[in-house]
Chains A and B, each alone.
Chain A
């Protein structure tokens, strides 16, 4: 999804993740959002916000042992982190490091739908390519759906099956030019 600043792209993602009051209903396979307990819904339909927040001093405390699975060790390496990253202090992370770690943190819950709000805005070209590749792999292997919000139209046409522009009137499907 793309669209002008302030048109409501982030709000749309927050509504799907059910962290703001909204009209309508989200249905995932047979699960209706309003009848699933909120924490479970948000684990199934995981949103990666544009700005990540951290509340403990050390990086590791935010991951709660979820990284023991070899899949995540591999993910860490692909995103350019060494094994000792869990001992790092959050206050010393760069914006880009936070963004990459935040992606891993969201993936740990093994969501069935991923809502990505400008997930590569703070990354260099090389890392943008790595993240795009990781998301493509996950979509392929786990068969999950993804809503990717970005201002970069070229990126959207690289990663998405369908590209839409959010207008105040609704969604408009875009064609590859």
Chain B
């Protein structure tokens, strides 16, 4: 499905050619199966956002390559959709208008894209909020709009860059649960960037632990907790605690 091969990325100081440049990513290799939920976990500055942006095609790689379904990624494509940390909503568009955006760019007709957008708004629980502007709704609701917009394009891979980083803790848990429910209904592959250990374990099939300077993959931890995870209290499961300890250990080294 998704294959990252020996990917490296360096950032040079634009104004100062003397400086050596920052190795943001060093020799990253990763492969993700269809319908898998993978979390990229690491401290700030480990390059996880850079990695997801390269996968999205928003940033070119300097070495190595990214393959989606065997095709090399050079630019954004309709097989991948991004959910942004700061939601990335267009403030002059209504909720419905924001969800429509991706389909509108594609050139889909007005009626059709409205219908589809309404369906996805219903899926994320925002029926009745179509005509609100983003600043009139809460952060959690704004990110639901972001998710609906991404899903409306039916991507093979959903790329999520710390999507719940900017909302409060309670909303965050609620959104996590809803994301899992939505993911269970659709058959998308999810790459999810986070720096929360609990979030990564709760959500994913596999936690990819990254270290910084240079940004690289330290270890991959398979999460074999039963699904669905929103029934009962998975976080109280002793296996959850073991995984948490293991991941924390790995991050610390």
Q: Do A and B come from one complex?
A: no
B-side residues, CB < 8 A to A, are: none
A-side residues, CB < 8 A to B, are: none
